């Protein structure tokens, strides 16, 4: 919840996906188009990665994230830069550690699945799962 007189925390989208409108409203922002392409590339593993490959990818992602937060902003723990992360579970620990090492705090999006009825032209009803953004989980 945003407190009166305080700026909403800014959260870099460090995932392969575009932030949802609800996430943007909660403070998530997108990196540059060039950085987004590099982020997507670094988060994609087409072959089984080695520990070294995971480590190097996490360091590169952490370096990208530092471009979006000034040191003065990151000095106060309550206002440090944050990055929304997600991807292969086997990669998250390495990425979390690399981000923390550069004073960017990793967060995960938390959403709830809601069932929505969609009336169809033929009179039938289609049930669709919709994921509603409900906040962030800090690690």
pLDDT in tens, 6-55: 455 689 999 999 999 999 999 999 999 999 999 999 999 999 999 999 99
pLDDT at 79: 57
Domain ranges of the chain: 11-108
Beta strands in the chain (DSSP E): 11-14, 28-29, 81-85, 104-119, 125-138
**Tokens representing 81?**
């830069």
Give the pLDDT mean for 47-70: 95
Q: What is the pLDDT of residue 131?
A: 79
Query: 69-125: per-residue pLDDT in tens?
Result: 865 544 554 557 899 999 999 999 999 999 999 999 999 999 888 888 889 999 999
């Amino acid at each position: 919840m945003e407190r009166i007189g305080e700026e909403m925390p800014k959260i870099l989208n460090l995932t392969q996906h575009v932030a949802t409108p609800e996430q943007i409203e909660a403070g998530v922002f997108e990196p540059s188009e060039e950085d987004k392409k590099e982020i997507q590339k670094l988060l994609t593993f087409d072959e089984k990665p080695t520990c070294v490959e995971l480590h190097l990818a996490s360091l590169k992602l952490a370096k990208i994230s530092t471009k979006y937060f000034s040191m003065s902003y990151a000095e106060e723990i309550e206002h440090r830069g944050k990055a929304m992360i997600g991807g292969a579970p086997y990669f998250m620990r390495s990425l979390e550690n690399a981000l923390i090492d550069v004073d960017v705090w990793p967060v995960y999006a938390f959403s709830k699945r809601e069932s929505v009825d969609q009336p169809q032209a033929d009179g039938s009803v289609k049930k669709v799962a919709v994921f509603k953004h409900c906040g962030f989980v800090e690690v």
